[in-house]
Homo-oligomer: A and B are copies of this chain.
Amino acid sequence: MNEKLLAGKHLWYFEYYTGGDVGLFMKIARMVHSEQTPIQRIDIFDNPTLGRVFALDGITMTTDKDEFMYHEMLAHVPMFTHPNPKNVLIIGGGDGGTLREVLRHPEVESVVLCEIDRRVVEVSKQYLKTGEAFNSDKVELVFENGAEYVKKIKNQFDVIIIDSTDPTAGEGGHLFTQDFYRACFDALKDGGVMCAEAENALYDFNWTKIAYRRIKSIFPVVKAYVGFMTTYPSGFWLYILASKGLDPIKDYRFEAARAMSQQLKYYNEELHKACFVLPNFVKRTLEESL
């Protein structure tokens, strides 16, 4: 990056975490793009340490430096739990990062990515490395509220990945309702697997509990897992895997996961199991939430 840009310290980004009294700040070395869409505010800027940063409504979605942590954990745990994930639905994920990970799987024949905000996909293609995933022929883009879209689909997908923004931002709240999770269940084929990002264990743990309880009421197998996501609030991210029967620990494809992990930066075949070992307070809180 240009040295003079690095020297300035007059433009800053502040992400206020839920509660409003703690948050992350980042220097803006260069403002790349800023836009108010009908749905939300998009900001893209460069930070000397984190590289390009992408934010929606003042909430960090991706940074060059660490987006792999989130996208690998969100995608590969359900993808390797399913024995043969041919048809995949990604709800949200307009930056393309989850899509990139899904497309690594050779079994995949088609991916529908349902993003509520067309502009997110457009700016990602223009400004973000993750946006390169949209070049694949296997991808079908649907620009619609994910909760509306999934209601219309029955028995079609092997894996559904919910890569939503925060429930408090933009239209993210629609993706945390019981109706939505039920519609996902119905949209999955027999043997299907769903995975949802489920917020963090410090500032938004209540949303984790809500999502866990609601998904538990619909799916027979539900397990939470954890992963580091260093620029998300607290760095301590939760995911919920649900299936119509498959167990993510007993049934996952260990050898395939081991083979792919060579090309990955975070996920590997051992982590697939280890990530389901929860710290006590997480385990207890989720149990009590039922």
Contacts and interface: CB of A to CB of B under 8 A. Distances in A.
A50 interface: yes
A13 to B, nearest CB: 6
Contact of A202 (B30, B36, B66, B236): B66
Identical chains in the assembly:
4
A200 B69 CA distance: 14
A43 B201 contact: no
A234 to B, nearest CB: 4
A33 to B, nearest CB: 9
Interface residues on A, range: 35 or more
Most chain B CB within a 10 A radius of its CB, from A50, A280, A283: A280
B279 A277 contact: no
A290 interface: no
Contact of A23 (B25, B58, B265): B25
A254 interface: no
A4 B38 CA distance: 10
Interface stretch (A14-22, A155-163, A240-248): A14-22
Given A21-B47, A280-B265, A11 B13 contact: yes
Most chain B CB within a 10 A radius of its CB, from A2, A5, A49, A270: A49
Nearest to A270: B277
A50 B34 contact: no
5 contacts: A10-B58, A21-B49, A228-B279, A267-B280, A271-B277
